[in-house]
C-alpha cells in the first residue's frame, strides 16, 4: 500500500536526521576515510530506524561526497578531499562546538582572500542607493557605541558585511556571503563582548566605498581583517 504524503514526509525527516548523525560520526572520525559503514540492518538497529531510512540517509551523504556505496562491498567513507564543504547541510553538521575553531580558521582564510576584493568592487560597482544603505548601517553601528545592544550589533554587523558582498556585483561573492551566513553569525557572536568592534576601521571602509576609491577600500578591508579582536575566541 503506498505511503501517504504525511508518512513520506515523516520518513524523509527521519532519514535526514539519520544522515546528520552519520555525518557527525564521520566528521568526528568514528568512521574514518576508507572505512566501510555498518550495513543497513545494523545501522537500522543501532539508530532505531527502518532500512529505507538508512538507505535514504546514505543517498544524502553520497550526494555530498562523504560516502560511496559499492555493490557487494558496502558503503565506503570517502576522503575529505571528496566532501562538498560548500553544501549548507554539511557545513551545519561540521559547525559543532568541538569543531568550531577548526571551521573558523578555514573560514577566516577564505574570508581574508575574498572580502578585500568585495570591498574594492563595491566601491567601483555599488550604486548610489546601495552606498546610501551602507552608510545607514554604519550610522546605526555608530549609535550602538553609546547605547550598546549586543544582539543588535551582531545583526547590523552581519548585514553590513553581506551588503558589501552584494554591492560588489559579483554573483560568486554574494553567494559566498549567503552560504557562510551561519559561520559569520557564529563567528561574530564569539568575538562580540559588550562593546562595538573596530568601529573606526568599519568607517574607513565605508568612506572609501562612498568615494568610489576601490584600492583604498581594499586596503581598509585588509586593515580591518588584520586588526586583532578585543575578545579572543574560546
* CATH number of 195's domain: 1.20.120.530
pTM over 0.75: yes
Residue located via cell numbers 578591508: 221
Range of the domain at 143: 99-226
pLDDT tens digits for 26-40?
Answer: 999 999 999 999 999
Q: What are phi and psi of 159, to 5 degrees?
A: -60, -40
User: According to the model, what pLDDT value does residue 126 have?
Assistant: 97
Q: At what angle do helices 199-210 and 214-226 cross, to 10 degrees?
A: 170
- For the record, the C-alpha cell of 178 comes out as 549567503
Residue 216 included in any domain: yes
Residues 220 and 137 in one domain: yes
Structural domain tally of the chain? 2
- For the record, the C-alpha cell of 3 comes out as 505511503
Residue 231 included in any domain: no
CA distances from 185 to 13, 15, 112, 209 (A): 26, 28, 17, 24
User: According to the model, what pLDDT value does residue 10 have?
Assistant: 60
Q: What is the mean pLDDT of the chain?
A: 91
Residue 125 included in any domain: yes
Amino acid at each position: 500500500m503506498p505511503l501517504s504524503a504525511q508518512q513520506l514526509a515523516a520518513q524523509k525527516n527521519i532519514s535526514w536526521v539519520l544522515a546528520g548523525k552519520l555525518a557527525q560520526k564521520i566528521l568526528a572520525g568514528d568512521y574514518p576515510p576508507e572505512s566501510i559503514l555498518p550495513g543497513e540492518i545494523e545501522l537500522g538497529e543501532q539508530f532505531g530506524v527502518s532500512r529505507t531510512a538508512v538507505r535514504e540517509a546514505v543517498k544524502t551523504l553520497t550526494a555530498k561526497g562523504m560516502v560511496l556505496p559499492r555493490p557487494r562491498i558496502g558503503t565506503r567513507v570517502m576522503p575529505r578531499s571528496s566532501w562538498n564543504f560548500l553544501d549548507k547541510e554539511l557545513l551545519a553538521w561540521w559547525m559543532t562546538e568541538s569543531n568550531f575553531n577548526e571551521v573558523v580558521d578555514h573560514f577566516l582564510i577564505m574570508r581574508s582572500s575574498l572580502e578585500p576584493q568585495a570591498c574594492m568592487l563595491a566601491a567601483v560597482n555599488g550604486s548610489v542607493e546601495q552606498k546610501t544603505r551602507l552608510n545607514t548601517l554604519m550610522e546605526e553601528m555608530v549609535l550602538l557605541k553609546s547605547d550598546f545592544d549586543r544582539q543588535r550589533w551582531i545583526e547590523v554587523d552581519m548585514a553590513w558585511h553581506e551588503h558589501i558582498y552584494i554591492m560588489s556585483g559579483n554573483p560568486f561573492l554574494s553567494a559566498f556571503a549567503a552560504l557562510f551566513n551561519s559561520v559569520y553569525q557564529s563567528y561574530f557572536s564569539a568575538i562580540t563582548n559588550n562593546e562595538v568592534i573596530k568601529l573606526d576601521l568599519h568607517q574607513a571602509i565605508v568612506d572609501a566605498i562612498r568615494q568610489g576609491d576601490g584600492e583604498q577600500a581594499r586596503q581598509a578591508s585588509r586593515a580591518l581583517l588584520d586588526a586583532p579582536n578585543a575578545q579572543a575566541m574560546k
